[in-house]
Structure 1
């Protein structure tokens, strides 16, 4: 079987009702702009920037406007009030919920964790901010869903920022959970040169399992395929997973690192170029592998919380939006990144 080769079942298609564009921009823009390099008004209004933003808006249509806030780095909206991560953390944690038969959402309004259920235990994707949050939202969420947190055998960390690895220690110490991360980001953590860190966030986990592009992480009957998508960090990975819904199987891409919050790093231009290249490649993979579900590790990038709220009373699965929608999402991100490159090099 060739890499990622597998045929998906018939898709259910539904669109989530989106808030206004201004509301969506305010959902989590702070993570995009807090560490971004400043852009002059002349650069923001340049033809190249505006051309790429127009392509992003065209790809977004009416259902993906929440991704357009990535363009705020290139052309900030005057007067837009951006919530801080602390403000998002302070909002009440929504209840955990099954997004698919074998996938449980355990996130909050700031950062997400996803539990992938297998025949031999649980894989959790991302460990959130710190031990207390992991205990409250991941362990507590699993218990609320009738699942045993001692069955968390693996934690896959999408990238080496503390809001995604900070709570891993709770599971490694209490349950002996193994931690999976890209070799590139393990090296970053080993070096001590942490990019997104504050004293109240959890410390990096001890080096454990390394993966790279094309790696497969197996547990029981489940295979997680690793797609390298660098940029957000140099070693960001995006898991590709098969999700069960009744008798159907859907393929999902969980994008590992979305925003351009590396704007003050000395290597910002090469990293942004790798993001541009990575979104283009992922868009091709999405078509080849018929990826009809696009997920994120921040709920404001996949509307996980409002979608799950609407799904509580039944109805279609709002995460299954189809292969074209996945490719359009990646196009929005790609064009916003190209707009940012144009602004940073103007």
Structure 2
């Protein structure tokens, strides 16, 4: 069991300069850079594993956790952010209660960020009927214990990651809560239903082999937007023996998700880490008025998945050399 940041740790040996500069690596990174433009550079940070920038200082999870907790916010009529600058939790409000997506690091955060944040937004935490754990790392399941004891929601995770949480944690930290007890298992194609809301489950392996991403509708006034919440972004498996299997799974998952995003006109692409989707900054922008910055358009959603996909392909070249 390793002790590290589960979601943003590089966990990869720096490649030799010749590998990072190889034509194939540079071709994939050029495609990623083109897709990133100036608005998706947070996702282009994944390129650092294949071609590190000398002297670049990464902000650590511990530094992000020490920053003041941002205020909770409302992204859409039925979608609310309750998290910090490190890890996110999202509340989807339905006609029959609330579906909470992820539970942050531990009981303290669940109580003082998720629970308290929902109350500030006028939401009743007693209405939480489901907690969806996007993948089996403690910064996403750590607060489940508090929520389960207090409100007794269903706890939902993929079959693969329930098994991983029960048998062989990939990462652990002393400030994370303990893994939840197995409750509801879902797989690719499962649909979560609560009241007037359906959430489609998409298995997107790589970050963990059981990572799930979610597709659902968000409302804003009279408009409906299709949302994809990506369940696990970083290539955090570079020292594992199965790293090529994992990066291949990630490449296939982003290819497939991009096709689905185009087909379903997914115009909102969010994450469970603010460092990728910049949800905190977008909520600050919303407070000043103007168009909703969460509405990116389906072409931008496809570009984000292209950035992730091409960075993964560049990383695979380095790891397989």
Superposed displacement of residue 196, structure 1: 2.0
**Cα contact 2:214–2:229 (8 A) shared by 1:** yes
1:104-253 matches, cutoff 5 A: 104-191=80-167, 193-253=168-228
Q: 1:163 to 1:33 in 2, by over 3 A?
A: closer
How many residue pairs end up in the alignment?
317
Normalising by structure 1, what TM-score? 0.90
**Cα contact 1:30–1:83 (8 A) shared by 2:** no
Aligned: 1:275 with 2:250? yes
5+ long unaligned stretches in structure 1: 1-28
Q: Runs of at least 4 residues of structure 1 off by over 3 A?
A: 29-34
**Cα contact 1:241–1:253 (8 A) shared by 2:** yes
Q: Which deviations, in whole Å up to 9, do the C-alpha atoms of 1:245-268 show, x marking residues without a partner?
A: 000100010000000011111111
Give secondary structure in 1 for the equivalent of 2:295. coil
Superposed displacement of residue 31, structure 1: 4.7
Q: Which deviations, in whole Å up to 9, do the C-alpha atoms of 1:170-210 show, x marking residues without a partner?
A: 1101111110000000011111x111211221100000000
Normalising by structure 2, what TM-score? 0.97
Aligned: 1:284 with 2:262? no
Give secondary structure in 2 for the equivalent of 1:292. strand
Aligned: 1:308 with 2:278? no
Superposed displacement of residue 290, structure 1: 0.7
5+ long unaligned stretches in structure 2: none
- The 2-side partners of 1:180 and 1:40 are apart by 41
